[in-house]
C-alpha cells in the first residue's frame, strides 16, 4: 500500500513540476515576443517590469466565450470575426475544441493567477518583479504623475506586464496578458500557443481591449 501511494505521489509530483516548467516557458516566450515587437534590437530598453501576482480589476474576458461560441445571428458572427480581424486561420483555431476549453477555463480562472518566481523566468531582457500594491502606489494622486514616477524609478523600461495563469488543453495553451505603459497606452490580449518539438509557439493573438 505504501509503495502504491509513493508511486502515485511521484506521478502527480512529476505532472505538477512539468506543468510549472511549461508555465514559465510560456511566460518567458510571451514577454519576449512583446518586447521583440516593441524593440527587437533592445537598444532602448534596459528593464522589463512584471507584476508578481496579477489581480485583475475586472474580468474583461466575461463576454468573450459567449461571443465566440454562442453567436447565432449574422451580426453576431460578423462581430466575432471582426474581433478576430477576419483572420481565417485564427477563426478556425478558435473553433477547435481544445481552444474552446482553454478560453472557457481562462475566463473562469482569471482571478486565480499564480505568484511568479523570478528564478524560474528566463527573459532576453533584465527584469524586475514588483507587487500590485507597490505598482498602485505610483498612482495614488495622479495617473500621469504616477507614470512619470514609474519611469523615473524604472527608466527605459517597457512599462509593466501582468500575466494570468496558463490554461492547457491537449497541446494548446492560452494566456491573458495586460501591458500598461501610460495613461492612454495599454492593452489586454489573449495569446494562443501550441506545443511542438519541445517548444511553445505563439499561434495567434486576440485583442480584448486597448487604450
Residue 17, pLDDT score: 41
Q: pLDDT tens digits for the chain (211 residues)?
A: 555 533 333 333 333 445 789 999 999 999 999 998 876 666 778 889 999 999 998 888 888 888 898 888 899 899 999 999 999 999 999 999 999 999 999 999 999 999 999 999 999 989 999 999 999 999 999 999 999 999 999 998 989 999 999 999 999 999 999 999 988 889 999 999 999 998 999 999 999 999 8
Residue 45, pLDDT score: 81
Residue 42, pLDDT score: 67
Q: Cell triple for residue 200?
A: 511553445
Domain boundaries, the chain: 2-210
Distances (CA, A) of 69 to 26, 63, 81, 109, 148: 26, 10, 12, 18, 42
Give bridge partners of residue 189 from the DSSP assignment: 177, 207
With a CB cutoff of 8 Å and minimum separation 6, the contacts of 36 are none
Residue 9, pLDDT score: 36
DSSP characters over the chain: -HHHHHHHHHHHHHHHHHHHHHHHHHHHHHHHHHHHHHHTT-SS--EEEEESS---SS-TTTTHHHHHHS--SHHHHHHHHHHTTT-HHHHHHHTSHHHHHHHHHHHHTTT-PPPP-GGG---SS-EEEE-HHHHHGGGSS-HHHHHHHHHHHSTTEEEEEEE---EEETTEEEEEEEEEEETTEEEEEEEEEEEETTEEEEEEEEEEEE-
Residue 109, pLDDT score: 95
Amino acid at each position: 500500500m505504501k509503495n502504491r501511494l509513493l508511486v502515485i505521489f511521484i506521478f502527480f509530483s512529476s505532472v505538477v513540476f512539468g506543468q510549472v516548467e511549461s508555465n514559465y516557458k510560456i511566460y518567458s516566450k510571451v514577454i519576449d515576443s512583446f518586447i521583440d515587437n516593441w524593440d527587437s534590437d533592445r537598444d532602448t530598453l534596459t528593464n522589463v517590469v512584471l507584476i508578481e501576482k496579477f489581480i485583475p480589476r475586472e474580468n474583461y474576458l466575461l463576454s468573450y466565450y459567449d461571443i465566440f461560441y454562442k453567436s447565432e445571428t449574422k451580426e453576431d458572427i460578423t462581430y466575432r470575426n471582426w474581433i478576430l480581424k477576419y483572420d481565417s486561420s485564427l477563426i478556425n483555431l478558435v473553433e477547435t475544441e481544445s481552444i474552446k476549453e482553454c478560453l472557457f477555463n481562462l475566463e473562469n480562472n482569471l482571478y486565480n493567477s499564480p505568484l511568479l518566481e523570478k528564478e524560474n523566468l528566463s527573459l532576453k531582457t533584465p527584469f524586475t518583479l514588483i507587487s500590485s500594491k507597490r505598482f498602485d502606489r505610483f498612482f495614488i494622486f495622479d495617473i500621469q504623475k504616477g507614470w512619470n514616477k514609474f519611469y523615473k524609478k524604472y527608466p527605459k523600461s517597457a512599462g509593466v506586464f501582468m500575466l494570468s495563469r496558463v490554461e492547457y488543453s491537449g497541446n494548446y495553451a492560452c494566456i491573458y496578458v495586460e501591458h500598461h505603459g501610460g495613461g492612454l497606452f495599454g492593452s489586454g490580449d489573449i495569446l494562443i500557443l501550441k506545443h511542438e518539438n519541445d517548444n511553445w509557439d505563439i499561434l495567434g493573438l486576440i485583442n480584448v481591449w486597448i487604450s
